[in-house]
Amino acid sequence: MDNSEEINDESEKEMNLNTGYYMRSKRRKLDKNVEECTSFFRNTEKKRKNPIIYMPVEILQAIFRFVPHHELSQSVRLVNHRFKIVAEDVLNCSFRHLEKKINNLILSAEISLAFTQDDMEIKCIAKLLNMLEILKLQYSIVVSTIWRYVYNDFYKTNKTCMYAGQLIDAYFNFIDKFIHCPNILYAPAVIRDYALPLEVAKIIQLTKSFCVHFDKISEEPRTDCLICSGCKIIDIVDCAKYSQKFVVSEVACKNYFVAEYSYVFRNSWFVALPVKMTKEMEWSQKQRMMHMRLRRIVLAHNDMFLQQYQYDREVMLRPDPIIGRIKKPGNNVYTGYGDIGDTFFYYGVMNDGAYAQKFNQDEDNEEEEELDEMLALEDIGEDIAPRNNSSENVLYRIPYLGFKMNVEVKCPLSYAPLNFLKNMNDIDLQKLRNKHRTQGPTHIKVMFECEGASYPRLPTRFEYDFNPKKL
């Protein structure tokens, strides 16, 4: 019998013996407190399943930068409070960096146009520059909507974050293609004038949807939204790049901001009709609808006149185009309408082509028509006056389309418009940030004047009074 068999036999014998005690050494009894500490550490070790929760904030930020912003917004920031803080910080910083990236790309495109001689290359770079200008205007609209609740350092408010992760991803996707494969972006516009790639069209659509969603879900439910929004109306109208702005007065004292502005939107109209009230509406909802209405006018106005500006620039850059002719923008008209409470609104804008088609007569026939009118007046006699609202009325034949906004604002300095706060010196800005107090209400009065509405006998004026004291 070998050694292994002997050992196995001995173990069997030991198991059969009834010695009355265990051959194995007994475990030493521990103190009760020591046992509780040991069980606590064991439970703690069991809970530490994912070490990422205990990583430093800097490492978490570095990891989250590799995660799509849409996932950060929809999933990651909902895990726990720590993930929420870090994810929201990454979302806010990413959106703020977009403005710098877009400005740098615009500068590089303008420099490339200055040193380019080939006609086809000029056309391609001009199309890319057009897209960047469109995205810059879209970005400004989002900032005017959210900055008081996201990036506000001037007064205390219930802050949220830039949770439109899908919109941020769309911007970065466009920038990535712009840098690495720009031919994918400018190809549709080169083949078909004024056609936008899917990346730009997606950003435009997401911007409209997000601004409406933010006003309705994030801002309106708050009890202090009328006060915290401050001069949001002026911030939105300031995004209209191709409207004329006149600063009548602008005074900032120690605690208050008082100003008066005048905006002129050409080829546009804004009419308000009194109607029978169908249902009661709160002031917060009326304010939200006014913000939405102004955003639509500003976006349409920018879209119409940005195309005309880009066309004029391309004609200047390519005086003798080799590849095809430069096509003018098509005749475009935007209209919007809706009833809010006891008022029905009708507004819109048209570009220069649609305006010329609507009002201007053919140049070849102008002299003949003027001669015919003079002969007709001689035959009729001078005693007969022209009818109102008819082709004989000289005033009626004067084409005038456009509306003017007169804005009067009085509010605490912290609630001032964003453009005014940006232009303040660093010392005053730091004092305003350290103060974090606001005194007094916000009062904004907006007067819409549309003289062209007098021809179809519609009201030419509408007054919108934004006064939180009424609440």
User: Is residue 22 in some structural domain?
Assistant: no
Q: Which residue has the higher pLDDT, 59 or 380?
A: 59
Domain boundary, last residue among 349, 377, 395: 395
Q: Are residues 235 and 344 in the same domain?
A: yes
Mean pLDDT of the chain: 81
And the tokens for 408?
Answer: 């009067």
Residue matched to tokens 């009085």 = 410
Q: Which residue has the higher pLDDT, 413 or 254?
A: 413
Q: Are residues 196 and 239 in the same domain?
A: no
Percentages (nearest 5) of helix, strand, coil residues in the chain: 55, 15, 30
The pLDDT, as a whole number, for residue 117 is 86
High-pLDDT (> 70) share of the chain, %: 80
- Cα separation, 117 vs 107, in Å, equals 18
Question: pLDDT by residue (tens digit) across 228-244?
Answer: 788 899 999 999 999 99
Question: pLDDT by residue (tens digit) across 67-102?
Answer: 999 999 999 998 888 889 999 999 999 999 999 999
- Which residue segment(s) compose the domain that 65 sits in? 54-219
Rounded to two decimals, what is the model's pTM?
0.81
Q: Are residues 282 and 376 in the same domain?
A: no
Q: Are residues 72 and 203 in the same domain?
A: yes
The pLDDT, as a whole number, for residue 365 is 45
Q: Which residue has the higher pLDDT, 224 or 155?
A: 155
Residue 22 scores a pLDDT above 50: no
Q: Are residues 286 and 408 in the same domain?
A: yes
Domain count, the chain: 3
Q: Are residues 120 and 183 in the same domain?
A: yes
Q: Are residues 355 and 372 in the same domain?
A: no
What is the DSSP code string of 403-438?
EEEEEEEEEEGGGS-HHHHHTS-HHHHHHHHHH---
User: Is residue 27 in some structural domain?
Assistant: no
Residue 25 scores a pLDDT above 70: no
Non-local (6+) Cβ contacts of 108 within 8 A are none
User: Is residue 48 in some structural domain?
Assistant: no
